[in-house]
Amino acid sequence: MRKQVLIELTNLYFTYGCHPVLDNVNLEIKTGESVGLLGPNGSGKTTLLKLILGQLRPHSGAVKVFGVEAHRLRERYRIGYVAQRATHFNTEFPATVKEVVASGRVPRRGLFRLLTSQDYQRVDQVLDMVGLSSMCNQPVGTLSGGQQQRVFIARAIVSEPEILIMDEPTVGIDSAAQSSFYELLKKLNSKENITLLIVSHEMEGLSSVISRQVCLDKNLCSCNCHSYPAKKMQVSCSKRLAFQYAK
Amino acid sequence: MEIFQYEFMHRAFLAGIIIGLICPVVGLFVALRRMSMISDALSHVCLAGVAAGLFSGSNPIITASAFAIAGALTIEKLREKFKTYSEISIAITLSTGVALGAILLDLGKGYNANFMSYLFGSIVAINTTDVIIIAISGLLILGLIFLLKKELFFISFDEEGASLAGLPVKAITIAFTVLTALTIAVAIRVVGILLVSSLIVLPVAASMRIAKSFRGALLISVIMAEVAVIIGLFASFYINLAPGGAIVMTSVILLLGTLALCQRQYNPVKVTEKIAQREDSSI
């Protein structure tokens, strides 16, 4: 069966003022893939995500998600997003884990509509999946960084998205929590069939999760995967060309 | 009881109980969205609205509502102009409201007992029309907050996340600010212009110290506000105190009592460390 293209970037160009950030970027992400987007700080990774999420518009080229221009996508709940600073929330906010996760169902349900028992069943199911069932009534601010990260992943996937996008998901999480986090991502990709796009400046730990790496660098695109041919690593590209490598 | 033999006290209790319900419900979202100063600015805009009502001979609650809604929309518009310094919009609206109020009062020679009843609240001055306006507005506010509760929760917790998830954050924010304005305008009859923002903030501040969930915070803040309103009205009747002052001082005492009784201060950092240790060892 032919896999559907979920994200499609074509000749993408984006600039902040007179400094081009992304130039001639081409990328396709298909159903069921697990893609790692890596690159150093300031390489345009977050800008690329903002374009995919429809927060920014390209200066030229196209960004299509589910076949429509990203900024015109109405069913935003089809994309789950976990921000880089997701865990930097107000820890004194009076909300339980379950209340925060349930809020992820809101966009799917629609304005002026109350959450139903079906929604809460899905919330319980997701809490179980991410291993937070026992903590569902705990204030979210009292959890550890790794547990909070799981809460935000749960909130992102509770709306049954087809793609889960994460920006630097392992920042601030200790190594013990990271390994169980990678296991969770594998489970989401293989069992829930959620396509993953993970942005990170290091891919060492994520290499067991991702099926393909895409590298962004300032003036040179390279892939620093351990098994990537050295010759190709030195290939000089036009500014900000996304370079793909299949494992 | 003697207090319930008077019809004006029936009206005062009815209006007070409605206000004791809507102020903390709106106030919880106001506090969580760090918009507490907006309620203060809008109450000062109501000053101009009341002055306009007294000057024109219209019902001051209706004119105060119109002014407060206009003030709320102005704040939202100014926030767009001063994105980085959004508090400037609050200062501009507050000072404009007070200045306009001073001019209208001077023109209408309105510094009288009637105006004072709007400044600090009055139980004897609440008439049947006021109660009807407060009841209709209260129903509208509660109904809309109930329908938008889940969206407001999401936006209050994570505005950027809500926007990325496709919620119309701007439209909901404007609608909520208008509801806040309406709440303040109808509450001034009982609590007074100068003290209305306290009834919005104080019960919520007390509830946030003890609540472990959003639902709990909502429930506790409503109970705190209702207790403050009822005790305040009793104090106002028996000790002849200004109702606004009595209600707000009861709220202050409840807040101080809550802080004193919360011996186990909620310290997220310590609790996080403790739970993290326990959970990490179980993973």
CB B212 within 8 A of CB A94: yes
Within 8 A of B168 by CB-CB distance, chain A residues are 111
Mutation site, B158, B210, B220, interface A, largest A CB count within 10 A: B158
- pLDDT for position A237: 39
What CA–CA distances, in Å, run from B207 to A52, A83, B271? 40, 30, 19
- pLDDT for position A239: 39
Beta strands of B23-132 (E only): which ranges? none
Q: Give the class (CATH, top level) of B2-282.
A: mainly alpha
- pLDDT for position A43: 81
- pLDDT for position A230: 33
Within 8 A of B160 by CB-CB distance, chain A residues are 83
Within 8 A of A147 by CB-CB distance, chain B residues are 275-276, 279
Give pLDDT tens digits for A78-116. Answer: 999 998 766 678 888 999 999 999 999 999 888 888 899
Within 8 A of B150 by CB-CB distance, chain A residues are 102-103, 106, 109, 114-115
Mutation site, A115, A144, A150, A165, interface B, largest B CB count within 10 A: A144
Q: Which of A55, A89, A102 sits opposite B158 (nearest CB)?
A: A89
- pLDDT for position B110: 60
- pLDDT for position A227: 40
Number of residues in chain B: 283
The complex scores an ipTM of 0.84
- pLDDT for position A220: 35
Give pLDDT tens digits for B244-257. Answer: 899 999 999 999 99
Confidence label for A174 from pLDDT (cuts 50, 70 and 90): confident
Those residues whose C-beta lies under 8 Å from the C-beta of residue B1, and which sit 6 or more positions away, are none
- pLDDT for position A157: 92
Closest to B17 measured CA to CA, from B131, B124, B175, B120:
B131
pLDDT at A234 over 60: no
**Residue A23, strand partner residues:** A13
Give pLDDT tens digits for A19-42. Answer: 888 888 888 999 999 999 888 777
- pLDDT for position B105: 87
- Determine the distance in angstroms separating the CA of A226 from the nearest CA of chain B, rounded to an integer: 30
Q: What is the mean pLDDT of residues B39-52?
A: 93
What percent of chain B has pLDDT above 70?
A: 91
- pLDDT for position A96: 96
Q: What is the mean pLDDT of residues B220-235?
A: 96
Q: Which of A93, A112, A174 sits opposite B157 (nearest CB)?
A: A93
Give pLDDT tens digits for B57-85. Answer: 889 999 999 999 999 999 989 988 887 78
Closest to B167 measured CA to CA, from A140, A46, A48, A104:
A104
- Determine the distance in angstroms separating the CA of B43 from the nearest CA of chain A, rounded to an integer: 26
Q: Which of A77, A135, A177 sits opposite B165 (nearest CB)?
A: A77
Mutation site, B214, B215, B274, B282, interface A, largest A CB count within 10 A: B214
User: Cβ–Cβ contacts within 10 Å for residue A145, how many?
Assistant: 16
What CA–CA distances, in Å, run from B252 to B20, B115, B167, B188? 15, 25, 36, 18
User: Residue ranges per domain, chain B?
Assistant: 2-282
- pLDDT for position B265: 56
Give pLDDT tens digits for A112-165. Answer: 888 999 999 999 999 998 889 999 999 999 998 888 988 999 999 999 999 999
pLDDT at B276 over 70: no
- pLDDT for position A118: 94
- pLDDT for position A2: 67
Q: What is the mean pLDDT of residues B14-21?
A: 95
CB A151 within 8 A of CB B279: no
**pTM for the full predicted model:** 0.86
- pLDDT for position A165: 95
Mapped onto helix, strand or coil, the DSSP state of residue A62 is strand
pLDDT at B15 over 80: yes
Give pLDDT tens digits for B193-226. Answer: 988 988 999 999 999 999 999 999 999 999 999 9
Q: What is the mean pLDDT of residues B104-112?
A: 77
Closest to B145 measured CA to CA, from B24, B230, B31:
B24
Q: Which of B32, B150, B279 sits opposite A103 (nearest CB)?
A: B150
What percent of chain A has pLDDT above 70?
A: 85
- pLDDT for position B61: 92
Q: What is the pairing mode between strands A60-65 and A68-69?
A: antiparallel
- Determine the distance in angstroms separating the CA of B140 from the nearest CA of chain A, rounded to an integer: 14
Confidence label for B106 from pLDDT (cuts 50, 70 and 90): confident
pLDDT at B270 over 60: no
pLDDT at B171 over 50: yes
- pLDDT for position A225: 44
Give pLDDT tens digits for A211-230. Answer: 888 888 643 344 444 443 33
pLDDT at A232 over 80: no
- pLDDT for position B267: 53
What CA–CA distances, in Å, run from B257 to A110, B21, B117, B252? 41, 21, 29, 8
pLDDT at B274 over 90: no
Those residues whose C-beta lies under 8 Å from the C-beta of residue A17, and which sit 6 or more positions away, are none
H helix runs in B192-242, sequence order: 196-210, 214-238
Residue the block writes with tokens 């005492």: B253
Average pLDDT in chain A: 82
pLDDT at B26 over 90: yes
